[in-house]
Amino acid sequence: MRLSILSVGFLLCGFCTPAFAQSSEYITNPSFEDTPRQNYPPEGWFDCSFHNESPIDVHGYESEFFGVKELPADGETFVGMVTRDNETYEGISTKVLQPLLADSTYEISIMVKQASAYNSISRATSRPVNYINPTLLEAWAGQLSCQMNTFLWEYKVEGYGNWDLVTFNLTPEKNIRYLSLYARHPENAEYTNGHILIDDLQISKVNPVTFERY
């Protein structure tokens, strides 16, 4: 009888939304885990896309949305965000579980890459194109979701390759309650069709170095 209950439980879970979204000390679902699907942010994240434009996508290895067939850097799924030739771009935002405190220092890392293909329709020409142009990943802080109040850092992704581990230290001037990640057009460039894939966001507090006096 016990085996039967376990079997039923296992079968039922096959139809459930995967409960693999995990939390870190600061971020809900830092690995962007969810059921692969188009136009929907992963659990714990808000979509920051433009009105009348499609939201971001959650990709898995088997989903192949827009021709993307990449292995996750962590877990089962990752996020894809695009820039477009009509000047729009995509982003996601989350409320940090505990504020990143002013005058404290945090180490933040994230895995970033481009796929070899991200096939969609040009908004400018209505023709199929590969959204493969260089793209910036930008991080912003705000007091509300998707707010771009304080620019934190950026990283340029250019061309197909392996996952890049991007690490930087952040010392906020004000407490940060919302963290937002955007795909943006490179500065001084035309408004091009590009994309970035992101996975495995990590935030840890850097303890100040103390010196003992003898």
Q: What 8-state DSSP symbol labels residue 76?
A: S
Q: How far is the CB of 107 from Ca ion (least distance, A)?
A: 19
Q: In the numeric block, which tokens belong to residue 131?
A: 């959204």
Among 36, 44, 60, 72, binds Ca ion (CB under 5 A): 72
Question: Does 31 sit near Ca ion (CB under 5 A)?
Answer: yes
Interacting stretch for Ca ion, rule CB under 5 A, among 68-76, 80-88, 178-186, 205-213?
68-76
Cβ burial 174-185 (10 Å sphere, 16+ → b, else e): eebbbbbbbbbb
Compute the distance between CA of residue 44 and CA of residue 17 in angstroms, rounded to an integer.
14
What's the CA gap between 110 and 120, in Å, rounded?
25
Q: Decide whether 60 or 193 has the Cβ nearer to Ca ion.
A: 60
Choosing from 36, 44, 75, 91, the residue that interacts with Ca ion (CB under 5 A) is 75
Query: For Ca ion, which is the closer residue by CB, 133 or 163?
Result: 163
Q: Phi and psi dihedrals of 178, rounded to 5? A: -125, 135
Pick 36 or 72: Cβ nearer Ca ion: 72
165 forms beta bridges with 111
User: Whose CA is closest to 72, among 178, 163, 140?
Assistant: 163
Q: How many residues bind Ca ion (CB under 5 A)?
A: 7
Using rule CB under 5 A, residue 199 touches Ca ion: yes
Q: Is 174 helix (H, G, I), strand (E, B) or coil?
A: coil
Two tokens, residue 96: 């940090």
Least CB distance to Ca ion at residue 20 (A): 9
Which among 7-15, 77-85, 159-167, 180-188 is the span making contact with Ca ion, rule CB under 5 A?
A: 77-85
Spatial separation of the C-alpha atoms in residues 162 and 183, rounded to whole Å: 18
Stretch that binds Ca ion, among 57-65, 142-150, 170-178, 199-207 (CB under 5 A): 199-207
Q: Does 43 bind Ca ion (CB under 5 A)?
A: no
Q: Which residues bind Ca ion (CB under 5 A)?
A: 31-32, 72, 74-75, 78, 199
